[in-house]
Amino acid sequence: MKSFPNLSNWSLRNKLVFLIVLSSAISMLVSFSVLFGSSLRSSNNESLQQLSGISDILAENAQAALVFGDRTEAKRLLDALQEHREIQAAWILDAKGKTLAAWNRNGKVKSAPGNYKVASKQLHSDIWMKSADLYRPVVRGKERIGFILLQADFSERWSTYLANFETGLAVFALSLLVIYFLATRLQRVISQPIRDVANTARTIANDKAYDLRVPQHASDEIGDLIMAFNHMLSEIQDRDESLLRHQDRLEKEVTKRTAELARTNDELALAAKISGLGYWEYDVASREFTFNDQYYSLHFATAKQVGGYRMSYEDFAQRFVHPEDANRIGDHIRLELDSDEADFVVETEIRTQCTDGSMRWMRVRFKSLCDEQGNKYKLTGVSQDITEKKRSEETIWQQANFDPLTDLPNRRMFQDRLEQELKKSHRDKSPLALMFIDLDKFKEVNDTMGHDKGDILLVEAARRIAQCVRESDTVARIGGDEFTVILSELDDTSSVERIAQSIIDALVAPFQLDEDVAFVSASIGITLYPNDATNLEMLMSNADQAMYASKSAGRNRFSYFTHSLQEAALNRMHLINDLRSALSDDQLRLHYHPIVELDSGSIHKAEALLRWQHPERGLINPAEFVMLAEESGMIIDIGNWVFREAVQQVQRLRAIHHPEFQISVNKSPVQFRNDERHFQDWIPHLQQLGLPGQCISIEITEGLLLDATATVKSKLLDLRDAGIQVALDDFGTGYSSLSYLKKFDIDYIKIDRSFVRNLTATSNDMALCEAIIVMAHKLGLKVIAEGIETATQRHLLTAAGCDYGQGYFFSRPVPSHEFETLLKSSAS
Ligand code: C2E
Ligand code: MG
Ligand code: MG
């Protein structure tokens, strides 16, 4: 097959030419061969028949010559063959094969060839009939009498044929040339349009020139093909143009969208920056995180420092998460991945570590994303730095729950802890003790040494108390100088006493406050759970009552809560309730206690003392209820009532007894501090009644002066400006500070009853009284001695130069009408 050319690589043009030429050549060769062969064959047959006919005639004619052996006749018969040009030699042989006559065209007679003993006529010729030998027996009757032998040569005729064949070949070659020429022309009819289509297609493929068309010259199949091709081009062109238009629209749209997207991206990035949100993703399959720049900047890191935006879970946990929270983030990721809820969003707060080594708080929110099969393949989340918020929450919590001075739990925290401890005690069935500790005389330290020193003392006191208890116990500061201790998990209650005593001992030791030394003590109240009470409020009230009992019993001691204490507390509570209606129900009275001028014995002054005519309990002294009135704020209204009542009385006494009569009223510090409303009415009230300020004197205590705020000071000044005098009550029990006497305009000093009670000529109290009197006189103040019960006391005080005296020796405090009687009798 190699010899045959591989047509598939040939151009169509060559294929066509080749096929036309080949087919034409084949058909011509076949026709030529058939024609040439058949003419050759018929010519050969003709020659042979002719030869056979000659031999037949010769055999007929030679019978006689053979029978008679007539050589001449035989020779004559052979010579006649001269006109048959193809016969070259001839022999007439007798039956025995002896030559009777021989003839040769060129005259050189040869002997007859042997082997002619053939029964019948036999022709021998070569394939191309260039020569032929004919043997012909001559038969007479049934007897063979001799043979005719003819040798023919057809070469002349063959030459003619050969010449004709060559001519035929030349014609064949010429015809092929013509056919080739025609084929090269003809192929164009088919291949040219196809080439045109191909060229056009190629140009379009290269230049996308869909407007090109293949010229159509014929309406045959190729014409149809071109038409279809051109139609297809039109279609493509239309589609191309429409695609271009569409593409153009799309490009514009894409440009617009890209710009919008870029804007949105910028806005989003800005929003993320402003919101401080760091964005991250977690690939579930690879367990890798991807972070944005903002996330890194939240951790004071950059992608460059960290080594890119991707990070394995382990790297992330180790690099960014606080070791104590590392497991939590893993737990939350599992929680999200295991959750069946479609909208489940994990929100948690974790501590992270930053590249600068600092720790920050992040609020982390994330959610899973599902693929089409519903498998969770990704988590996407945001982190927000909430460190500042956490810190302020912590500060707020700290402030809300702890005392900033001592760092101890405050009242609120204490109550929380107590509640928890109660629950625990209840569960474990173990007793619990609650202690209320109040520092005795702390107020004095604070007032005399200043608040800064007071603060130092409180901090030190807190430290000392905490040292007396176990770490598991709670020490709290619930007020100025009030501390509480919760002793939980007590094996037995005997240790409570020991602890209380150790606290007392610790607090009684001197406090070094910079260069000063201060002394305080502690009054402790103790109550036990569950013996005394089972709820928080009751326990607190019990401890308070017990502490109150310690104070009342002389301070620097501890008291257990008892039921009699509880009764007293209940009693107080009932009294407060009753007191609310005392004023409106007209149950309050004023008794008057004469203040006697010791030299002359005359009575120009009296102290108004409050009494409460209780409907069931009878007459109640102020010692029992003034404190309650102060605590409940009722003292304001009560004090106002006292003032107006006293003014009314003094107006009357001035009229009927002495024109300069003066009544003193006790004024509680609470009134000074809180009563704006009535206080301002007092002076106009006096003016309305046409009374001078001197008709009233106000008794205040030293505590008020120690604590003197600007309002207290201005109120005192107002009183002085109105001519109202001021007496310093209970002098000697407090600080007895001389500087106060100078600083405020005080008119009288009232020496406390405790100095007068045991007064003898040689007692210390006598010395003290004399000192107070001398000092007061030096400062231009008058002195009133309280609680004079005996004549001795009166004489001693008179001798010491005391100006006025007050006491049961002269009279008990009495109602107004009795007081008037008393004045009358004294005047007479
Ligand atoms: P105070 O101002 O020191 O009043 C003197 C108290 O000593 C009165 O008691 C009086 O009855 C009592 N007293 C006077 N002389 C003697 C005596 O020789 N022996 C004894 N054992 N006691 C004597 P009272 O009336 O029970 O008053 C007690 C305190 O109640 C007063 O002490 C005063 O601080 C307060 N108080 C009385 N009335 C009022 C009032 O109207 N307003 C305010 N805020 N407090 C008042
Ligand atoms: Mg008084
Ligand atoms: Mg007094």
Q: What is the pLDDT of residues 680-727, one digit of tens each?
A: 788 899 999 999 999 999 999 887 877 666 777 888 888 889 999 999
In this structure, what DSSP letter does residue 746 have? Answer: -
Q: What is the pLDDT of residues 795-826, one digit of tens each?
A: 999 999 999 999 999 999 999 999 999 999 98
Q: How confident is the model at residue 1, as a pLDDT?
A: 45
The mean of the pLDDT values for the chain is: 88
Q: How confident is the model at residue 234, as a pLDDT?
A: 86
Ligand 1 pocket test, pick from 605, 609, 668, 814 with the greatest ligand atom count within 8 Å of Cβ, gives 609
Q: How confident is the model at residue 597, as a pLDDT?
A: 96
In this structure, what DSSP letter does residue 526 have? Answer: E
623: CA distance to ligand 2 center in Å?
Answer: 11
Structure tokens at 680: 């301002």
The mean pLDDT of 167-183, rounded to a whole number, is 87
Q: What is the pLDDT of residues 8-62, one digit of tens each?
A: 778 777 888 888 888 888 888 888 888 877 877 787 778 778 888 888 888 888 8
> What number of other Cβ atoms are within 10 A of residue 517's Cβ?
10
* Closest C-alpha to ligand 1, atom 11: 813
320: CA distance to ligand 3 center in Å?
Answer: 72
Average the pLDDT over each of 332-336, 470-474, 489-493 and give the range with the smallest value.
Answer: 489-493
Ligand 1 pocket test, pick from 625, 666, 808 with the greatest ligand atom count within 8 Å of Cβ, gives 666
603: CA distance to ligand 3 center in Å?
Answer: 18
Question: Which residues on adjacent β-strands are paired with residue 692?
Answer: none
Structure tokens at 567: 């009764």
813: CA distance to ligand 1 center in Å?
Answer: 9
698: CA distance to ligand 2 center in Å?
Answer: 9
Q: How confident is the model at residue 113 (pLDDT cuts 50, 70, 90)?
A: confident
Atom of ligand 1 nearest to the CA of 610: 38
Average the pLDDT over each of 3-17, 27-41, 85-99, 765-779 and give the range with the smallest value.
Answer: 3-17
607: CA distance to ligand 2 center in Å?
Answer: 7
Contact status, residue 418 vs residue 478, Cβ threshold 8 Å: no
Q: Which ligand is closest to the CA of 608, given by its number?
A: 1
The DSSP annotation for 350-391 comes to EEEE-TTS-EEEEEEEEEEEE-TTS-EEEEEEEEEE-HHHHH
Atom of ligand 1 nearest to the CA of 730: 3
Q: From edge to edge, which strands make up the β-sheet containing 474-477?
A: 474-477, 482-487, 432-440, 521-529, 557-560
Q: What is the gyration radius of the CA atoms in the chain, in angstroms?
A: 76
CB-based contacts of 810, cutoff 8 Å, min separation 6: 594, 596, 603, 788
> Among candidates 348, 504, 486, 382, which has minimal Cα distance to 430?
486
* Closest C-alpha to ligand 1, atom 8: 609
Instruction: Indicate whether 473 pLDDT > 90.
Output: yes
Q: How many CA atoms lie within 13 A of 818 on its CB side?
A: 10
Q: Which ligand is closest to the CA of 640, given by its number?
A: 1
Q: How confident is the model at residue 3, as a pLDDT?
A: 53
Contact status, residue 808 vs residue 789, Cβ threshold 8 Å: yes
The DSSP annotation for 605-670 comes to EEEEEEEEEETTTEEE-HHHHHHHHHHHTTHHHHHHHHHHHHHHHHHHHHHHT-TT-EEEEE--HH
Q: What is the pLDDT of residues 209-261, one digit of tens each?
A: 888 888 877 788 888 888 888 888 888 888 888 888 888 898 999 899 888 88
What is the three-class DSSP state of 604?
Answer: strand
Atom of ligand 1 nearest to the CA of 629: 44
Cα separation, 116 vs 137, in Å, equals: 9
Atom of ligand 1 nearest to the CA of 806: 15
Using a CB cutoff of 5 Å, list residues around ligand 3, an ion: 729-730, 786
What is the three-class DSSP state of 11?
Answer: coil
CA distances from 419 to 403, 422, 428, 543, 665 (A): 19, 5, 14, 15, 46
Contact status, residue 120 vs residue 105, Cβ threshold 8 Å: no
Instruction: Give 636-641's long-range contacts (Cβ < 8 A, gap of 24+).
Output: 636/670, 636/671, 636/674, 636/675, 636/677, 636/678, 637/583, 637/678, 638/582, 638/583, 638/588, 638/610, 639/665, 639/667, 639/668, 639/671, 639/675, 639/678, 640/675, 640/678, 640/681, 641/583, 641/588
Q: Measure the N-to-C terminal CA separation of the chain; round to a whole number of Å.
A: 175
786: CA distance to ligand 3 center in Å?
Answer: 7
Instruction: Indicate whether 599 pLDDT > 90.
Output: yes
Cα separation, 200 vs 210, in Å, equals: 9
**Ligand 1, CB within 6 Å, residue ranges:** 593, 609-610, 621-623, 626, 639, 642, 665-668, 699, 729-730, 753, 786-789, 806-808, 813
Average the pLDDT over each of 141-145, 491-495, 595-599 and give the range with the smallest value.
Answer: 491-495
432 burial via Cβ count (<10 Å: 0-12, 13-18, 19+):
buried
637: CA distance to ligand 1 center in Å?
Answer: 19
The mean pLDDT of 279-308, rounded to a whole number, is 90
- In the chain, the amino acid numbered 529 is Y
Q: How confident is the model at residue 783, as a pLDDT?
A: 97
* Closest C-alpha to ligand 1, atom 25: 609
Q: Beta-strand (E) ranges in 441-507?
A: 474-477, 482-487
Instruction: Indicate whether 465 pLDDT > 90.
Output: yes
What is the three-class DSSP state of 430?
Answer: coil
Q: Which ligand is closest to the CA of 646, given by its number?
A: 1
* Closest C-alpha to ligand 1, atom 33: 666
156: CA distance to ligand 3 center in Å?
Answer: 190
* Closest C-alpha to ligand 1, atom 7: 787
Q: What is the pLDDT of residues 541-578, one digit of tens each?
A: 999 999 999 988 888 999 999 887 778 778 888 999 99
Q: How confident is the model at residue 17, as a pLDDT?
A: 84
If residue 557 lies in a helix (H) or strand (E), which one and from where to where? strand 557-560
730: CA distance to ligand 3 center in Å?
Answer: 4
Instruction: Indicate whether 643 pLDDT > 50.
Output: yes
Contact status, residue 613 vs residue 590, Cβ threshold 8 Å: no
Q: What is the pLDDT of residues 60-71, one digit of tens each?
A: 888 888 888 888
The mean pLDDT of 109-115, rounded to a whole number, is 72
The H helix count followed by the E strand count for the chain is 26, 28
Instruction: Indicate whether 411 pLDDT > 90.
Output: yes
